[in-house]
């Protein structure tokens, strides 16, 4: 019997949450973009470096521009290339900066080319297939599915499937729909877009960035920390929205994704715990007093609160003096023995 080991926990705090509370619009916007960008790295098991967090903080404070922040990060890795053992830290840092840039831009077009372009911009120089549609079929074992995989789009039909989903959404009218109906439809749309998995890697981050920008065109502000705090939940909710096993009585469902979207778009406070999504059904949905700050420990899944202390950089009197502690709903891939 295969053995599944999985970790799924939270870091304590978003290092940029204080900026989200500021009254200055530009600072709020920059803080949101960086917070979301860093949080999204968790969907691929990545954790940005302390250097990235400090550099981002300088941009949020207005000490440096976003372009200067990106140049600093690029230069850092050019100079430190031989000293860095984990290339995925470099990926996390560079992709975080690129996501922050994309989320700060207002330009957007609802087209397959825009979707593909976002992937290219995020992963240029990181993946050899950046901006390229995969030409092979894929599977991926998911801990939330007890080691099973979602059935992703067939390589021979990817472009046609992508075009079809875009055309269907473009022709859809939200007029007259209740907010519950709107959220359900958005959940179906983004889950189908993600299920295609048109790229070899980086699908969830690309889909999230595209979806956030699309939501803005629909009039949603999307300026809270839900993606930053619960990006791993977002991915697992996408998985559950695309998995059916009739023999086990499991049906694809957007209910978990809708809870995520209700928190994102309506500022509701639904509990978003990854263990609730596991197909075993061992953990029942229940309200938890989050003020108690409990750590939930279960047999094969553990919520681990991990703190990363980040020294405050030397800013002016109006800037940070406290220690940043990074948090995220962070999950690791399974290890099968």
CATH of the domain at 246: 1.10.3290.10
pTM tops 0.95: no
C-alpha atoms less than 13 angstroms from C-alpha of 39 in its C-beta half-sphere: 32
7-46: per-residue pLDDT in tens? 444 445 677 776 666 545 588 889 999 999 999 999 998 9
Residue 336 lies in a domain: no
Instruction: Give the total number of structural domains in the chain.
Output: 1
Residue 334 inside a domain? The answer is no
Whole domain around residue 195: which residue ranges? 13-133+141-284+307-326
Whether 5 maps to a domain, the answer reads no
- Is residue 299 one of the residues assigned to a domain? no
φ, ψ of residue 72 to 5 degrees: the values are -65, -45
Identify whether 301 is part of a domain. Answer: no
Residue 235 clears pLDDT 80, i.e. is over it: yes
Q: What is the pLDDT of residue 254?
A: 98
Q: Does position 234 have pLDDT exceeding 50, yes or no?
A: yes
> For the segment 245-292, what is each residue's pLDDT rounded down to a tens digit?
999 999 999 999 999 999 999 999 999 999 999 998 876 544 444 344
Is 59 inside any structural domain? yes
| pLDDT at residue 321 greater than cutoff 60 | no
Asked, for residue 24, whether it belongs to a domain, the answer is yes
Crossing angle for the helix pair 25-39 and 50-60, nearest 10 degrees?
A: 160
Q: Given this model, what pLDDT does residue 265 score? A: 95
The answer as to whether 75 is a domain residue is yes
């Amino acid at each position: 019997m295969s053995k599944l080991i999985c970790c799924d926990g939270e870091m304590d705090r978003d290092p940029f949450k204080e900026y989200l509370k500021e009254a200055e619009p530009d600072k709020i916007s920059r803080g949101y973009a960086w917070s979301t960008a860093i949080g999204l790295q968790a969907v691929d098991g990545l954790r940005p470096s302390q250097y990235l967090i400090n550099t981002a903080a300088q941009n949020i404070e207005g000490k440096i521009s976003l372009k200067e922040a990106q140049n600093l990060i690029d230069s850092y890795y050019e100079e430190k290339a031989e000293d860095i053992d984990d290339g995925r830290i470099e990926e996390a840092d560079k992709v975080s900066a690129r996501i922050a840039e994309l989320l700060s831009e207002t330009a957007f077009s609802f087209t397959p080319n825009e979707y593909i372009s976002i992937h290219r911009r995020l992963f240029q120089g990181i993946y050899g297939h950046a901006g390229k549609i995969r030409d092979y079929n894929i599977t991926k074992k998911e801990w939330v599915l007890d080691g099973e995989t979602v059935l992703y789009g067939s390589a021979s039909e990817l472009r046609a499937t992508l075009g079809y989903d875009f055309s269907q959404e473009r022709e859809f009218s939200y007029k007259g729909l209740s907010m519950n109906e709107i959220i359900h439809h958005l959940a179906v749309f983004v889950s189908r877009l993600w299920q295609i998995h048109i790229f070899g890697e980086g699908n969830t981050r690309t889909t999230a960035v595209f979806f956030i920008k699309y939501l803005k065109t629909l009039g949603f502000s999307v300026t809270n920390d839900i993606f930053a705090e619960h990006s791993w939940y977002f991915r697992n909710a996408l998985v559950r929205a695309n998995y059916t096993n009739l023999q086990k009585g499991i049906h694809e469902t957007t209910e978990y994704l809708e809870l995520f979207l209700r928190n994102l778009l309506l500022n509701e406070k639904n509990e978003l715990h990854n263990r609730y999504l596991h197909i075993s059904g061992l953990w029942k949905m229940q309200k938890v007093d989050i003020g108690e700050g409990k750590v939930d420990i279960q047999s094969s899944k553990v919520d681990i609160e991990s703190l990363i202390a980040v020294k405050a950089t030397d800013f002016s009197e109006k800037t940070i003096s406290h220690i940043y502690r990074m948090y995220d709903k962070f999950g690791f891939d399974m290890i099968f023995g």
